[in-house]
Amino acid sequence: MRYSYELKKECVELYKQGKWMEPPEGVTQEAFRKKIRYWVRLVDFHGEEILKHKEQDKKWSAEEKFKWVSKVLAGNSCLSVAIEAGISDGQLYTWVDKYKNFGYNSLEIKKRGRPSKMNDKDENTNIDPKPLNESEREELIRLREEVRYLKTERAVEKKLDALRREKYAAYLKAKKQQSSEN
C-alpha cells in the first residue's frame, strides 16, 4: 500500500508526541506501527523530504551498491544501512546476497528482458566477400544439391512415419472395437 506524504508526515508527528494514528482499513495495527517507526527513523536520518515519493527506477552504479553492501558485511544491520541509504532493506539484502554468491560483477546493471532476435552487426559484415573461383563454385552447387536431396529424404521419412502411426492407430481402434464386441 502506498501512503501519501501528508499521512506519513502526520503519523511521524503524532508518534513524536507519543500518540498513534489509527491504521487504515485492511492493515493490522502491528504492521502499521512498525511502518510508522520505520518512517520516524528515516525522518531522523534524512529529514522529512525522504517521506515524499521519489522516482521508481533509480539506477544504482556498482560502486554505490558496493558501498552499502560493504557496510552490511562490516557488521552493520541491513535495516540500519538501508535507512541510511534511503532504500528498502529487501533491496539491500538482495544486493548483499548477489555479492556473496556471485561477487562484485553481479552488482553491475544488466540488460533486462528477452534478448533481441536481431544480432548486432559486426564491422566485418560490411566487407564484400571475395569472388568464388571455379572449384568453389562447383562445390557450392554440389552442396546445395546435397542439401536439397537430404531435405527431400527427410520429408519422405516424416510422411512414412506419419503413415505408420496412422495405420497403427487404426489397428488399435479395430482391436478395441473387436474386444468390446466380444
pLDDT at 19: 84
The 10s digit of each residue's pLDDT in 168-177 is 999 999 988 8
CA-nearest of 6, 3, 50, 10 to 31 is 3
pTM: 0.47
Q: Are 36 and 20 in contact (CB under 8 A)?
A: yes
**What would the mean pLDDT of 157-164 be, rounded to a whole number?**
94
CA–centroid distance for 181 within its chain: 58
CA-nearest of 33, 47, 109 to 83 is 47
Place of cell 538482495: 94
Helix, strand and coil percent figures for the chain, each rounded to 5: 70, 0, 30
Provide, rounded to the nearest whole percent, the portion of the chain with pLDDT above 90.
Answer: 18
Per-residue pLDDT at 121 exceeds 60: no
Compute the residue count for the chain.
182
pLDDT at 12: 85
The 10s digit of each residue's pLDDT in 14-35 is 888 888 888 888 888 888 888 8
**Residue of higher predicted confidence among 33 and 149:** 149
- Residue 59: left if φ>0, alpha if ψ -120 to 50, beta else—which one? beta
pLDDT at 56: 60
**Residue of higher predicted confidence among 122 and 55:** 55
**What would the mean pLDDT of 4-11 be, rounded to a whole number?**
82
Provide, rounded to the nearest whole percent, the portion of the chain with pLDDT above 70.
Answer: 91
Per-residue pLDDT at 161 exceeds 70: yes
**Planar angle of CA 94, 97, 100, nearest 5 degrees:** 150
Going by pLDDT thresholds of 50, 70 and 90, the confidence category of residue 146 is very high
